[in-house]
Structure 1
Amino acid sequence: MKKLLLITYYFPPEKNVGAVRMKGIAKYLPVFGWEVFVLTPFVPERKEEGFNIVETPLFFKEKIKYLKKGKKFKRGFLYRIPSYIIFLSTLRGIIPIPDRKIEWKFIGSYIGREIIKREKISAIISSSTPVTSHVVAYEIKRNFPEIFWIADFRDLWTQNPYLKYSKLSKKLQKKLEKRIISDADILTTVSPPLAEQLRNFHSKTAFSIPNGFDPEEFDFSIEPDRKFTVTYAGSLYGGKRNPEFLFIAISELLKEKKIKEENIEINFYGPYEPFLELLIRKFKGENIVKYRGNIERKEVLKKLKASQILLLLLWNNPEARGTYSGKLFEYIGAKRPILSIGYKGSVIKELLEETDVGVHCSDVEEVKKVLLEWYKEWKEKKIVSYKGKEVKVNQYSHKIMAGKFAEILERK
């Protein structure tokens, strides 16, 4: 069996949505003849089984973060780190370029090189964010130029619309990005528009491989919520993903007496967002909208599968046209109707129409129309029917996603 090193800063049990894509690759690439070794920083709570995980010791800042949380460090590590590597790592962290995880560069690349020599690895996949993962891969590639390197961009680097740079910083980061990615053999990302951006910027072959879901994670039954529930899971990115259109639509439908307040519940799961609290007060939605906080992933999946409607919020900005929210694919896996709200030209609109798993809206009137239609169905049947096209939906499984990576790896 051929061997591959997956370089990722986030891997379960990390709650970062990027960890889900990485787990899918690590779990299903072996089906296509690749043994996967996962290079990732140590996490005290990690209990993942069935994976070849090579944990790196924490660098200084991360260790302090965990110590403040009262975490303990009991496990040993497969490789010992020379003291000069630890020193260089700490020193490098003083200047957080390209990102705040750059301290991982020396530790990650050192252990990565050791794994490659020991296991005779022939390919690597690095995935960002953070882009430090690509820096680690770049350092490894310099030592092993024959290794086939796929640089995977879950989010773009300098072309990411969610990141803001000063003019000088943007110029420096662009130069750095071009230098680091110059040695990559193939680029991958999550949508066709982003792949096109990568091709134009790097003059390299770039493929679109969408995120996906693992059907095994949703292999359970659960009773649907009794109320007409609308559920959102994930970050709101400080208001870039804004539920205001939904709140306006609900408010107007209540005033028009087309829906009843006691029948509706809107739940938000994820990190606390001050602006959400202000928005709830603005629309006097305290009796309907509930902020539930962060809960364990397994519990989130149960909430999604039980909800009548799943809410997907997108940044209403053309710059975000090619962005797939990672949560979209968990929503698809839950097999509940999706209400997507955001920029009208989003790639998500195309995906929803292709799979028939939901509806995309770009203004309040559209939201009102869809909500009222689903509310009437709920009133009659006590459940909003899911109409996803099974064959189309299955094309977004993690196994299919891993298979696309396998096809690229066979090109080398």
Structure 2
Amino acid sequence: MKKILIISCFTLPADVIASYRTMAYLKHFKTFGYEPTVLTHYGGMKAQKEVTFEDYEYGRIIRIPNEPSLFGNIVRLFERIPIINKISILARWAMGYLDASSDSIDSYYNMKAYCVNLLDIRQYDLMIGIFSPHHHLKLCYQLHMRFQIPYVLDFRDLWSNRIMARNYHPNITERFQDLLDGYYWKKWLSKALFFTITSEPWKARLERLTPVKGYLITNGFEEESFTLQPSELHDEFVVLHAGSLYEHQKINIFLAGVKQFIETCKPINFKVKFIGGDRSSGIEGDRFGFMHAPVKRIRRYLNADYCDVTHRVDKKIILRMMSSSQLLLFLGHSEIEGWYSGKIFDYLASRRPILLVPDDSSVVSKLIKETKSGFIANTPERVYMCLQLAYSQWKANGNFRYSGDEEEILKYSRKSQVKNMSALLDKHLIS
């Protein structure tokens, strides 16, 4: 059985989407003939001062401490003086430290030192570096040059998803950053067997940068995470949006449609819930950042009787809420091509109808059409019509009919995506 070293800063219990991608590789690779080891830090748990090993029937996790490094300490001195730090960040970018913070630099040096020692004494057939952060890409390239071990680079995102905006007009700093990111990504990709990324438009963007072949490995869902309890479906008609809201999303289309529905139909036991939508980190005018003042914006249309806006909750809670909702709202990234967002796969797994507002004219609308998992609304009137149909069915039957294509949906399970990755490894390692 071939041995794989996976380099990733993110694993469970850190509750971020990056952790679930890493854990899927760890959990499912062995089924398809590969023995995985994940090298990571102590994210989401109490850090230790020594290396620890976690052995499972399907693989191993090695956790290493993130100790201060010499260069990291120098950067900390710069970070104390904002003006000097801004200048030094540009210098760090130019030197290839694309993750410019002191903690990220520490992580790079700690990971590098441990990998060199590990590969001196243990043989691996392949390395996989998962972006982000950038230094996983850099490490795989450097370790390959030293040990001649084949490697694959696995991208969850581009260096900034703003570069896929349909009207992208970068400022001077963004131009400089894009230039350096592109230069170093091309270098670190140059010796890779292949790369994988989470959407076709993003793959096409990277293939403009490098002759190395790219493949699609989407994010996905763990099938066993969902336990549907039908009795919960009858109490209240819930339209649920899970996760963050972004400034470029056209939420007003949805809100205006809901307002029209409420004023016309006077629904009882009807609620719109934005779970995780209340974030204070949105910056006014930041087109691609988190939504600025989301609660205030939502309250212009919907009062608290019909709408809840909350902070983030534990993923297990949000998955249960998805399964007991009548409609799952997905606000399309219509200005950024190729952006799935991880929650769309959890939506699929819940087997509840999805309402996409508006059409992103890209990957999410294609996904919904192929899986027959929902509806698309581009205007408030269309939102109103979808709500009226769903609510009337719920009142009559206690549920809103769902008719997703199960065979298509299962293609997006984490296990299916790891199977696809394993097939690519089989092909390239043999050749």
TM bucket, shorter chain: 0.7 to 0.9
Query: Is the partner of 2:154 in helix, strand or coil?
Result: strand
- Show the counterpart of 2:187: 179
Structure 1's 263 and 198: CA in aligned 2 closer, same or farther, altered over 3 A? same
1:214 aligns with 2:222: yes
2:118 and 2:15 mapped to 1: Cα distance? 26
- 1:126-161, Cα deviation, whole Å (9 max, x unpaired): 11122232123223222222x221111110125644
1:227 aligns with 2:236: yes
Structure 1 letter corresponding to 2:109 = F
- Show the counterpart of 2:260: 252
2:136 and 2:303 mapped to 1: Cα distance? 42
- Show the counterpart of 2:311: 293
2:164 and 2:40 mapped to 1: Cα distance? 25
- Which of 242, 264, 269 is the equivalent residue of 2:270? 264
Q: C-alpha displacement at 1:390, in angstroms? A: 1.1
2:160 and 2:191 mapped to 1: Cα distance? 18
Query: Is the partner of 1:224 in helix, strand or coil?
Result: helix
Structure 2 letter corresponding to 1:181 = L
- Show the counterpart of 2:150: 148
- Show the counterpart of 1:72: none
Structure 1 letter corresponding to 2:276 = G
1:372 and 1:323 mapped to 2: Cα distance? 29
Structure 1's 231 and 258: CA in aligned 2 closer, same or farther, altered over 3 A? same
Structure 1's 159 and 388: CA in aligned 2 closer, same or farther, altered over 3 A? closer
- Which of 112, 116, 134 is the equivalent residue of 1:113? 116
- Show the counterpart of 1:23: 23
Structure 1's 91 and 135: CA in aligned 2 closer, same or farther, altered over 3 A? farther
- Show the counterpart of 2:397: 381
Q: C-alpha displacement at 1:241, in angstroms? A: 3.4
Q: C-alpha displacement at 1:259, in angstroms? A: 4.2
Query: Is the partner of 2:233 in helix, strand or coil?
Result: coil
2:71 and 2:308 mapped to 1: Cα distance? 47
1:329 and 1:48 mapped to 2: Cα distance? 28
- 1:224-266, Cα deviation, whole Å (9 max, x unpaired): 26211011111223x23343221110111223x2242x42211
Q: Is the 8 A contact 2:228 2:350 kept in 1?
A: no
Q: Which moved more, 1:94-103 or 1:241-250?
A: 94-103
Q: How many residues align?
A: 381
- Show the counterpart of 2:297: 279
- 1:269-326, Cα deviation, whole Å (9 max, x unpaired): 2263352111122114222221232221211211111111111122221xx2211111
2:234 and 2:417 mapped to 1: Cα distance? 31
* Structure 2 gaps, min length 5: 47-52, 79-88, 281-292
Q: C-alpha displacement at 1:44, in angstroms? A: 5.3
2:337 and 2:44 mapped to 1: Cα distance? 37
Q: C-alpha displacement at 1:49, in angstroms? A: 7.3
- Show the counterpart of 2:409: 393
Q: Is the 8 A contact 2:278 2:310 kept in 1?
A: no
Query: Is the partner of 1:12 in helix, strand or coil?
Result: coil
Structural mapping, 1:302-341, within 5 Å:
302-317=320-335, 320-341=336-357
1:28 and 1:56 mapped to 2: Cα distance? 23
Structure 2 letter corresponding to 1:265 = K
2:394 and 2:4 mapped to 1: Cα distance? 48
Q: Which moved more, 1:14-23 or 1:33-42?
A: 14-23
- 1:21-49, Cα deviation, whole Å (9 max, x unpaired): 22111111110111111111213527987
- Show the counterpart of 1:13: 13
2:73 and 2:376 mapped to 1: Cα distance? 46
Q: Is the 8 A contact 1:187 1:198 kept in 2?
A: no
Structure 2 letter corresponding to 1:32 = F
Structure 1's 92 and 13: CA in aligned 2 closer, same or farther, altered over 3 A? same
Identical-residue share of aligned pairs (%):
25
TM-score normalised by the chain length of structure 1: 0.85
- 1:321-364, Cα deviation, whole Å (9 max, x unpaired): 21111111111111111112234412111111111111233332
- Show the counterpart of 2:287: none
Q: Is the 8 A contact 1:225 1:307 kept in 2?
A: no
Query: Is the partner of 2:265 in helix, strand or coil?
Result: coil
Q: C-alpha displacement at 1:267, in angstroms? A: 1.4
- Show the counterpart of 2:45: 45
- 1:67-119, Cα deviation, whole Å (9 max, x unpaired): xxxxxxxxxxxxxxxxxxx3244446764641243432111122223333443
1:369 and 1:5 mapped to 2: Cα distance? 51
Structure 1 letter corresponding to 2:66 = L
Query: Is the partner of 1:166 in helix, strand or coil?
Result: helix
Q: Is the 8 A contact 1:356 1:388 kept in 2?
A: yes
Structure 1's 240 and 22: CA in aligned 2 closer, same or farther, altered over 3 A? farther
Structure 1's 218 and 296: CA in aligned 2 closer, same or farther, altered over 3 A? same
Structure 1's 92 and 173: CA in aligned 2 closer, same or farther, altered over 3 A? farther
Structure 1 letter corresponding to 2:379 = D
Q: Is the 8 A contact 1:241 1:315 kept in 2?
A: yes
Q: Which moved more, 1:27-36 or 1:367-376?
A: 367-376
Q: Is the 8 A contact 1:280 1:286 kept in 2?
A: no
- Show the counterpart of 1:205: 213
2:73 and 2:140 mapped to 1: Cα distance? 19
TM-score normalised by the chain length of structure 2: 0.82
Q: Is the 8 A contact 1:13 1:48 kept in 2?
A: no
Structure 1's 384 and 102: CA in aligned 2 closer, same or farther, altered over 3 A? farther
Query: Is the partner of 1:241 in helix, strand or coil?
Result: coil
Q: Is the 8 A contact 2:279 2:311 kept in 1?
A: no
2:240 and 2:44 mapped to 1: Cα distance? 30
Q: Is the 8 A contact 1:124 1:149 kept in 2?
A: yes
2:304 and 2:36 mapped to 1: Cα distance? 48
1:48 and 1:311 mapped to 2: Cα distance? 38
Structure 1 letter corresponding to 2:5 = L
